Amino acid sequence: MTTIVEKTSYRDKLLDHKSELLDFLFNFSPIRPRTFADLGGVWGVEGAYSLYAMDEHKCQAGYLVDTHPTEKVLEYVEQTPGLNFIQGNFGEAETIAQVPRVDCVFLFDVLLHQVKPNWDVVLRRYAKKTNCFVIYNQQWAGSPNTTRLLELGKEAYFASTPHDPEHPVYRDLFNKLDTKHPDYENRNWRDVHHVWQWGITNGELEAVLKDLGYRKTYFADFGSFGGLKTFVNHAFIWRR
Ligand SMILES: C[S@@+](CC[C@H](N)C(=O)[O-])C[C@H]1O[C@@H](n2cnc3c(N)ncnc32)[C@H](O)[C@@H]1O
C-alpha cells in the first residue's frame, strides 16, 4: 500500500500546462514518441514529467538529466524500469555523450537558464539527438531582442525577474559574478544555471529552430509569468 502512494505522489508536482502539453505530444503526434530526454527535470518537481511520460504515456525509455539529483528522484528512477538518471550539465559534451538518440527532448523551465553553453548552442547540440523539441519556457517580452539578463545591471535585473534580491541564491549576486560558485570547479556565478540568465524572444527561438530544420507544430500562450510584464509562459512543440 505504501509503495502505491509513493509511486503516484509525483502527480502532485505536475503543473497542468505542462502535463497537458505532454498529453498533446503523446496523443496527437503523427508517430507516438516512445523515448525521451527530460533535461533539467529535478528542482521543485522531483522528476514528475519523466515519471508522467513513463507511467501515463507508457514510454519505453527516458533519460532524466540534471546536475543536482535528490534522494527522492533517485528512488523514483530505481522504481521505474526504463527510466535512467544522468548526472551532469546537460549542455556539456561529456553529458550529451551519455544521452542516446530519443524521439523527443523536454526543456521545461530550463532554456532561459542556459549559459556556457548558451541556450541556442544547447538546442544545436540536441538537434543531433532528436527530431522533436517540447519546450515550456518563460519567454522574454521586456524588449524586442533576446537579452542576457545579468547585463541589464542589478536594478533592471531584479525589476525584470521574479526574484527577491535577498533570497539566498540571489543575495549579493552582482558583487560575486566573477567569483567561483561553490558547486562547480570551473564556473563563476555569472555562468551558473541556478540564476535566471536569458530573456529569449519568440522570434529568436524560432530563428534558431528553423535554421536547424524544425517547424512549430504546437504553440500555447499561458500569459504572464508571476504577474511580470517582462516574461510570458509559452509552450511549443517543434518537429522536423
Ligand atoms: C527551474 S528548474 C525546472 C524543473 C522542471 N523542469 C520544471 O518544469 O519545473 C531547473 C532544473 O534544471 C536543472 N538544470 C538547469 N540547467 C541545467 C543544465 N545545464 N544541466 C543540468 N541541469 C540543469 C536544475 O538543476 C533544476 O533541477
Name, in order, each residue with C-beta under 8 angstroms of 69's C-beta and a sequence gap of 6 or more: 42, 85, 87
> Which atom of ligand 1 is closest in space to residue 45's alpha carbon?
9
Distance 137 CA to ligand 1 centre (A): 12
Closest residue by CA, ligand 1 atom 11 = 40
Q: What is the mean pLDDT of the chain?
A: 96
pLDDT (mean) for 15-28: 97
Whether residue 5 is predicted with pLDDT greater than 90 in this model: the reply is no
Q: If you measure from the C-alpha of residue 108 to the centroid of ligand 1, how many angstroms do you get, rounded to a whole number?
A: 8
53: enclosing H helix or E strand: helix 48-55
Quote helix, strand, coil % in the chain, to nearest 5. Answer: 35, 25, 40
Averaged pLDDT, 38-57? 97
pTM of the predicted structure, to 2 decimals: 0.96
3-class DSSP state for residue 84? Answer: strand
Number of domains forming the structure of the chain: 1
The predicted structure's pLDDT at residue 7: 58
CA distances from 73 to 70, 101, 121, 192, 216 (A): 5, 23, 27, 22, 31
Residues with CB under 6 A from ligand 1: 40-45, 65-68, 89-91, 108-110, 113-114, 193
pLDDT digits (tens, 9 = 90+) for 138-158: 999 999 999 999 999 999 999
For the chain, percent of residues with pLDDT exceeding 90: 96
Q: What is the mean pLDDT of residues 5-25?
A: 89
Q: Which atom of ligand 1 is nearest to the CA of 41?
A: 6
Q: Phi, psi (5° rounding) for residue 211?
A: -60, -30
pLDDT per residue over 68-88, tens digit each? 999 999 999 999 999 999 999
- pLDDT greater than 80 at residue 1: no
Ligand 1 centroid distance, CA of 41 (Å): 6
CA of 39 to the centre of ligand 1 (A): 7
Three cell numbers written together for 216: 512549430
Residues 127-136, mean pLDDT to the nearest whole number: 98
* Ligand 1 atom closest to Cα of residue 89: 20
What per-residue confidence (pLDDT) applies to 9?
87
Instruction: Write the single-letter amino acid at 164.
Output: D
Contact 89, 191 (CB under 8 A): no
- Retrieve residue 115's grid coordinates: 549559459
Asked if residue 144 has a cis previous peptide bond (ω within 30° of 0), the answer is no
User: Considering only CA atoms, which residue is closest to atom 20 of ligand 1?
Assistant: 89
Dihedral pair phi/psi, residue 37, rounded to 5°: -120, 130
The cell numbers describing 153, all together, are 545591471
Domain hosting residue 151, numbered range: 2-239
Three-class DSSP category at 140? strand
Write out the three cell numbers for 235.
509552450
Ligand 1 centre distance from Cα of residue 114 (Å): 9
How do residues 149-208 score in pLDDT, each as one tens digit? Answer: 999 999 999 999 999 999 999 999 999 999 999 999 999 999 999 999 999 999 999 999
User: Which SS3 state, helix, strand or coil, does residue 196 take?
Assistant: coil
CATH code, domain with 42 = 3.40.50.150
d(CA 148, CA 115): 10
